[in-house]
Structures are given as C-alpha cells and as structure tokens.
Amino acid sequence: MIVGICKLDIYIVDAMTLKDKRMVLRSIKDRLKSKFNISIAETDKNDNWRLAELGISSVSNSGAHIDKMLSNVINSIEADGRIQIIDYYTEKLSI
C-alpha cells in the first residue's frame, strides 16, 4: 500500500474576512474531493484570512498513480484564480 501526502501553503487573493476564506476553501475542498477522491483538510494558519495550509492524502497500490494524482491535484489548484500556491511538499510512504 502506498500513501501519498501533500502539504500546500496557499494565499487567498480576494479574502477580506475569515468568512471569505472559509467560502473559498470549502469550495476548493469539495471540488477536489469529488473530482479526485482524496482526503483534504485545512491544517494550519486557521486565524489568518489570507493564508492557509492544506493537507492532502491519497492511498493506492501504485506509486506512479499517487504521483500522477497529486500532480493533477496541484495543477487543478494552480488553475483556480482565487488562490496562489506559495509552497508545496509531496511525499510517498510505502506501508
């Protein structure tokens, strides 16, 4: 079993309040969950309305599948004009 994880630091462009941030993040998380069947959660920077850290994970029996899926998730997030990716980190764990 291969577990893929990704940590994303993102900047929310037009957020002026925590409510704006939550709306954008909820929309992104729901879209990614349904499209890629991944687990995703906000893991840090909860009180800053322009910054967020997202944790993403997926399980597969193929390392190549995990690489491709995480790459597609990152590309999908980059294509969303409401946010900018500041930094990201990916890792595969074989269990």
Q: Where are the domains of the chain?
A: 2-94
pLDDT at position 17, please? 86
Measured between alpha carbons, how far is 46 from 75 in angstroms, rounded to an integer?
24
Residue-wise pLDDT for 19-69, tens only, equals: 888 899 999 999 999 888 889 998 887 778 889 999 999 998 888 888 898
- Segment 10-19 mean pLDDT: 87
pLDDT at position 3, please? 93
Long-range contacts of 57-61 (CB under 8 A, 24+ apart): 57/3, 57/4, 57/5, 57/6, 58/3, 58/4, 59/1, 59/2, 59/3, 59/4, 60/1, 60/2, 60/4, 61/1, 61/2
The fold of the 2-94 domain, in CATH, is Alpha-Beta Plaits (3.30.70)
Count of other CB atoms within 10 angstroms of residue 80? 16
pLDDT at position 14, please? 84
pLDDT at position 9, please? 93
